[in-house]
């Protein structure tokens, strides 16, 4: 009986040692998993820092472009607002000065030439002129920084002013726009 008791005690001890060793192995696995996750987190934090840096760079470039765009708009507005000749400089049919004087504090503007291209129309023509393949609404709108519906109206208005902008199917329910070679030659004055 003593022999069986000693054997049971030894088995109990071996089981405890095995049990502890099993826990140690499990703890080592958990430690390796935690270390892998920490490396992953560090990598993600580094990618986040890079993304924030890239975002700040893009934001700065955007603000520069926005400033350039606003300057172009101001310049265009100044061109459109150029003063017309004073009404007092105009002679009537008898050769005498016109008694009509301009209103104080207001400029007299000439009516806009209906055949003159707007800045957006000129940009559309330049974009299509330089394109190597037909461009669909979404691609063209993205390049010009406007909505596709606005672009659709702009294409219509530009066609109304005598510029041949052609379209062709680009797959299912897509149209591609381009300026034909002959029209490019006409526009460039060659």
Whether residue 97 contacts residue 91, with contact meaning beta carbons closer than 8 Å, is answered with yes
- The number of folded domains in the chain is 2
Q: Assess if residue 103 is contained within a domain.
A: no
| Domain end call among 31, 63, 80 | 80
* Tokens, residue 147: 């909505």
Q: Assess if residue 148 is contained within a domain.
A: yes
Regions of the chain short of the pLDDT cut 70: 1-23, 77-114
Structural domain containing residue 139:
118-190
Q: Assess if residue 85 is contained within a domain.
A: no
pLDDT for the residue 92 = 47
pLDDT for the residue 90 = 46
């Amino acid at each position: 009986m003593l022999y069986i008791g000693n054997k049971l005690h030894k088995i109990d001890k071996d089981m405890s040692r095995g049990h502890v060793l099993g826990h140690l192995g499990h703890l080592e696995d958990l430690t390796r998993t935690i270390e892998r996750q920490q490396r992953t987190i560090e990598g993600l934090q580094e990618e986040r820092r890079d993304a924030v840096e890239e975002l700040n760079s893009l934001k700065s470039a955007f603000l520069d472009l926005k400033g350039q765009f606003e300057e172009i708009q101001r310049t265009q507005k100044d061109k459109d607002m150029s003063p017309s000749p004073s009404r007092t400089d105009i002679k009537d049919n008898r050769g005498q000065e016109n008694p009509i004087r301009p209103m104080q504090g207001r400029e007299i503007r000439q009516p806009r030439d209906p055949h003159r291209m707007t800045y957006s129309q000129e940009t559309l023509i330049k974009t299509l002129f330089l394109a190597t393949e037909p461009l669909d609404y979404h691609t063209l709108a993205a390049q010009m920084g406007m909505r596709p519906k606005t672009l659709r109206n702009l294409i219509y208005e530009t066609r109304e002013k005598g510029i041949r902008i052609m379209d062709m199917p680009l797959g299912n329910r897509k149209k591609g726009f381009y300026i034909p070679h002959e029209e490019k030659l006409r526009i460039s004055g060659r």
